[in-house]
Amino acid sequence: MTIYNFYAGPAMLPVEVMAKAKEEFTNYKGTQMSIMEIFHRGVHFTSLLAKAEKDLVKLLEIPENYSVIFFPAGATLQFSAIPLNLLQGNETADYAITGVWSKKAYDEAKRFFKVNVISDCQDNNYTKVKPLDDSMISENAKYAYITTNNTIYGTRYKSIPRITKAPLIADMTSELLSRKINVKDYGLIFAGAQKNIGPSGVTIVIIRKDLLEKDKNPVPVLLDYRIMAESKSLYNTPPTYPIYMAGLVFEWLLQRGGIEEMEKINEEKASLLYDFIDASKLYHAPVDKESRSIMNVVFWLRNKDLEKKFTEESTIAGLIGLEGYRTVGGFRASIYNAMPIQGVINLIGFMQEFEKKYL
């Protein structure tokens, strides 16, 4: 039986990438060593890092006035790095709260600076993202912060707010590489790897170069965007294996026609699932149609008593990791780039059978 992994992250990686990593695991390019065992300043790793960056630039069409940094650790570290690098003294910034992760980013910035909430979706239980525009941006804001896809609630900005009054900073952890974006619309984009990019342990930061020049108070060295950009992600020993895996994922994406192709498939997978849920009597998708994520499909069972059975039986059917986030409940199917359409077809097949059996 084929197992399909719907975890929100760490999440499924493309089978072809896993096969390549397995093939090279103990003998990277004839070295008789794993890439994990190889010096990070030697030719093997530095060329791998340069290739990974080049492929990412190609995939996202990153303009020349942006730097790409492979940061150690998870996306949460950026919640601190962003205000510490971009604010000082009494300077302020604006945050749009669309879910758990943007709230966490705001709470972290608030520990150091006086920052503003310019929009909060709590009043709709985070089932809809509210539109944002320049008129909402504070006069003196040094940046405006958004989370483009809300992993936990399964919402996203279908079209990204056009903000020109302040640099737009975007947490794209759960959707980078899944849909087309215009990098030039942002001051900074970041994404933890463990959804669409690779294993956990590395976070990608794409930052407009003028933001590196901003005066600031001293920042811990590993959080300093300028230092990290100047050292080309090699200030210290980087997470070499996650970067290697991310590089394989970028190659995989390029071989498949890049992000435009991926986006088409992702839209198709998500539509199949949402259409099925909307037509069913047992399942319910709580998210407003215009705000529905194509990466994280959240759904409930109208009969809550069946939840335990649904978890047990879906697991037996080889459909793993469908439980909703611990504070939200219900169910969530994370269908990132690596999830083949067949995984979604199998999930719908199972849900159909389950509904027939119990309703």
Candidate ranges 69-77, 137-145, 236-244, 259-267; the one touching ligand PMP (CB under 6 A): 69-77
Q: Are 62 and 205 in contact (CB under 8 A)?
A: no
Let me know if 171 is a catalytic residue. yes
68: nearest Cα among 181, 188, 166, 168 = 188
CA 337, 272, 131, 147 dihedral sign is negative
The single residue among 74, 258, 318, 340 that binds ligand PMP, judged by CB under 6 A, is 74
Question: Shortest Cβ contact with ligand PMP: which residue?
Answer: 74
327: nearest Cα among 149, 172, 103, 73 = 103
The single residue among 4, 6, 95, 101 that binds ligand PMP, judged by CB under 6 A, is 101
- Is residue 71 near ligand PMP by the rule CB under 6 A? no
Residue 141 neighbours by CB under 8 Å, 6+ apart:
92, 93, 94, 116, 165, 166
The single residue among 108, 171, 224, 323 that binds ligand PMP, judged by CB under 6 A, is 171
The single residue among 154, 187, 192, 238 that binds ligand PMP, judged by CB under 6 A, is 192
Among candidate residues 55, 94, 171, 224, the one labeled active-site is 171
Candidate ranges 70-78, 231-239, 271-279, 319-327; the one touching ligand PMP (CB under 6 A): 70-78
How is residue 58 written in tokens?
């190609």
- Is residue 233 near ligand PMP by the rule CB under 6 A? no
Candidate ranges 166-174, 209-217, 231-239, 244-252; the one touching ligand PMP (CB under 6 A): 166-174
Is residue 163 helix, strand or coil? coil
- Is residue 291 near ligand PMP by the rule CB under 6 A? no
- ∠ CA 256-261-263, nearest 5°, is 130
Q: Which one-letter amino acid corresponds to residue 357?
A: K
Q: Are 333 and 7 in contact (CB under 8 A)?
A: no
Let me know if 133 is a catalytic residue. no
Output 76 or 127, the one with its CB closest to ligand PMP.
76
Among candidate residues 103, 128, 142, 195, the one labeled active-site is 195
Asked, as a colleague might, if the bond just before 10 is cis with ω within 30 of 0, I would say yes
**Site for ligand PMP (CB under 6 A): how many residues?**
11
Q: Quickly count: other Cβ atoms within 10 Å of residue 190's Cβ.
A: 24
Let me know if 142 is a catalytic residue. no
The single residue among 75, 168, 228, 317 that binds ligand PMP, judged by CB under 6 A, is 75
Region class of 315: left (phi > 0), else alpha (psi between -120 and 50), else beta:
alpha
The single residue among 174, 178, 314, 334 that binds ligand PMP, judged by CB under 6 A, is 174
Is residue 92 helix, strand or coil? strand
What is the maximum alpha-carbon separation in the chain? 64
Output 75 or 301, the one with its CB closest to ligand PMP.
75
CB of 100 to ligand PMP, least distance (A): 8
- Is residue 67 near ligand PMP by the rule CB under 6 A? no
DSSP string over 175-219: TTTTS---GGG-SEEEEESTTTTSSSSEEEEEEEGGGGG------
Output 5 or 151, the one with its CB closest to ligand PMP.
151
Candidate ranges 14-22, 160-168, 171-179, 209-217; the one touching ligand PMP (CB under 6 A): 171-179
The single residue among 76, 138, 311, 315 that binds ligand PMP, judged by CB under 6 A, is 76
- Is residue 98 near ligand PMP by the rule CB under 6 A? no
**Any idea which residues carry the catalytic annotation?**
101, 171, 195
Q: Which residues bind ligand PMP (CB under 6 A)?
A: 9, 74-76, 101, 147, 151, 171, 173-174, 192
